[in-house]
Amino acid sequence: MSTIDSVSKAIALKHEIHTLVSKQDTDFDSAVLDLNTQISEMAEAFNPYVNVENVPGARTPKWYTLDIDFVTGETQAKSRAFEISSEGAFVMSSLQAYFKYTSENASDYYPDSNTLAFGSTPSGRYMPISTFPLIGDGVLQNIVQIAGSSPSDFTVNDFVSQGMYDIPEFSLNFELESTSQQWCDKWIPGGLVYTANNPLYFSGGCYVDRSERLIVTAAPDIRVPVGGTVRLVLHGYQILGEVTPEDTTRI
Amino acid sequence: MESKDLEQEISSLTAELLELKNEYATLDSSRFVELESLQARFDEFRKYSLLDSKKRLRDIAGRRTPKWYVVDIPFAYGATTPQTSSVEISVRPFVCTQMQSIYLITDEDPTHFPKVGDPLANSAVNSAGRYYPTTAYFATESTLKHSWNAITAMQPPVLGTSPNPAWHSNVIGELFSNYSSGGTDYRFVGWNYPDFDFEIKIANSGRRWTDDKIPAAAFYGASNNPLFLGHSGFVDANDRLEVTAHPTARPSSEPSINAQGICKFVFFGYEIDTPLILSDVFGY
């Protein structure tokens, strides 16, 4: 082999190695890039804050109450709002609804004081906001005898007549003021907020954000038999701190 | 440099280049093997991890807001046939965690209720605006457990003047019965309670949540608890929840629905603020 041939062969080999290195590096880089892209996509898809439990901040139990006052005989719906503190988002666990008698007028209670001459009133006592928890779970009842929608049928010889008449019948509606988002598509019967034995439990990590207002409307299904206050109790926990679910996450 | 030395140098260089080529090929091959192994491990991890896939509702990002949907199913006094009604889901998918049903009485005719007083007479009032359960099951259970047990425990038993409605003869047949005596129609305390079986269907997808008619008692509600779903059911945005209520109480030759009202089937849970179509995400 001539010197020139040897040089040519060496040069060809050098090119071959160059091509090999160049091609294989490109393939390798491409494969590495592809893997990196997949990892990046996975990291993008993984949101560590997707659940409200992962939002940082100290938790503290919290109760909010809301009173909506009614006088005897009212038939119109009324609204008031829970106002969440600026401490942080409030995550709801449960809701209870009560009716607290406020009327100190004995004649407001059924039957009027002329019939039974009440010496005092149940003012300050708590009742359910619906007869449903009692009727649904109690013994079979002739409902028109114990829970009419207007007072009547009382006879002193039959002490159970309209015995539940003074228990009101309310339906509820909820709306987040900031977004005008309705929580209900229709009125929710107060009897389904339970309370007699259990609260209504929320799930899914629902929350009301800091300083947000939750408007509650209570509508009498029958005329309010005795003046009193619809008293709602919202229980859950507050996430204290600057971080809220809404502004740091995609929850 | 001599020509001979030059050729030797070239030959040596060529040999080194060949050796380099072989070493590089070996190295490159092992690099790719390692890379492939890494890719395989990554694929395996992704396949079984929750990081890159949405396998549960909790993996879906988006604010949760409590949500009730109520399907209103009206029944006239005397109705006997099943009725179907539905409700449309909003622009956000709905996750149902609890169900219950309730019966709003709208009947304003006192003659549709059992008579009251002593002597018995039609009530002067009605109970429109009050609520019945959608089944007498729980109240019957309470009657058997508490009322009848209490009566049985008392000696002598409490008696009234038959057929005074305060009086019980401690037989189940009487609780829901009616009869005529001396020109007067008597009805007992269970007379007005409706009883339903329910079917639930997701209208657009055609998915059925019930394979057959499910007794109202199975959804609780009347027992101070809803039915908590073992696995949350979702309904996509703009889909419809459809409920069929079948009256089941059939006193002989008497109407099935003894008090006009609205059967309200209530779905409770939360909605998620997301544009995702959940059935696409989960593949069903």
Q: Inter-chain contact A149–B130, Cβ cutoff 8 Å?
A: yes
B5 and B125 assigned to the same domain: no
Is the model's pLDDT at B266 over the cut of 50?
yes
Please indicate, yes or no, if residue B45 is contained in any of the structural domains.
yes
Among B69, B97, B222, beta carbon nearest to A204? B97
Please indicate, yes or no, if residue B164 is contained in any of the structural domains.
no
Q: Inter-chain contact B125–A144, Cβ cutoff 8 Å?
A: yes
B131 and B2 assigned to the same domain: no
Domain count for chain B, please give it.
2
B67 and B122 assigned to the same domain: yes
Question: In B100-238, which ranges are continuous DSSP H helix?
Answer: 137-142, 148-153, 172-175
Residue % of chain B over a pLDDT of 70:
86
B223 and B125 assigned to the same domain: yes
How far is Cα A191 from Cα A205, in angstroms, rounded to an integer? 24
Could you report the per-residue pLDDT of B102-119, keeping only the tens digit for each? 999 999 999 999 888 777
Structure tokens at B151: 């009566």
B204 and B271 assigned to the same domain: yes
Is the model's pLDDT at B125 over the cut of 80?
yes
B47 and B85 assigned to the same domain: no
How far is Cα A114 from Cα A98, in angstroms, rounded to an integer? 28
Q: Inter-chain contact B226–A39, Cβ cutoff 8 Å?
A: no
How far, in Å, are B4, B16, B51 from residue A1 at the CA level? Answer: 12, 18, 63
Q: Which position has the higher pLDDT, B78 or B25? A: B78
B74 and B200 assigned to the same domain: yes
CA atoms within 13 A on the CB side of A220: 25
B129 and B210 assigned to the same domain: yes
Would you call B85 helix, strand, or coil by DSSP?
A: strand
Please indicate, yes or no, if residue B265 is contained in any of the structural domains.
yes
Please indicate, yes or no, if residue B284 is contained in any of the structural domains.
yes
- Residue B19: give the domain boundaries: 1-53
- Tell me the one-letter amino acid at A19: T
Could you report the per-residue pLDDT of A102-123, keeping only the tens digit for each? 999 888 888 765 666 777 888 9
B88 and B214 assigned to the same domain: yes
Nearest to B229 by CA among B53, B50, B64, B57: B57
How far is Cα A26 from Cα B80, in angstroms, rounded to an integer? 77
Buried b / exposed e along A170-196 (16+ C-beta atoms within 10 A): bbbbbbbeeeebbbbbbbbbbbbbbbb
How far is Cα B118 from Cα B112, in angstroms, rounded to an integer? 18
Quote the pTM value.
0.78
Nearest to B179 by CA among B279, B102, B252: B252
CA atoms within 13 A on the CB side of A128: 23
- What confidence score (pLDDT) does residue B82 get? 94
Q: List the single residue in A with minimal CA-CA distance to B39.
A: A35
Please indicate, yes or no, if residue B159 is contained in any of the structural domains.
no
Is the model's pLDDT at B128 over the cut of 60?
yes
- What confidence score (pLDDT) does residue B157 get? 38
Ranges of each domain in chain A: 1-46, 56-248
B119 and B244 assigned to the same domain: yes
Q: Which position has the higher pLDDT, B209 or B170? A: B209
Chain B residue numbers with beta carbons less than 8 Å from the beta carbon of A251 are 61-64
Average pLDDT score over residue span B67-71: 97
Mean pLDDT of chain B: 84
- What confidence score (pLDDT) does residue A187 get? 96
Which residue of A144, A193, A248 to mutate against B (max B Cβ within 10 Å)?
A144
Are the CB atoms for A233 and A216 separated by under 8 Å?
A: no
What residues in chain A have per-residue pLDDT under 70? 1, 43-50, 112-116, 153-160, 242-251
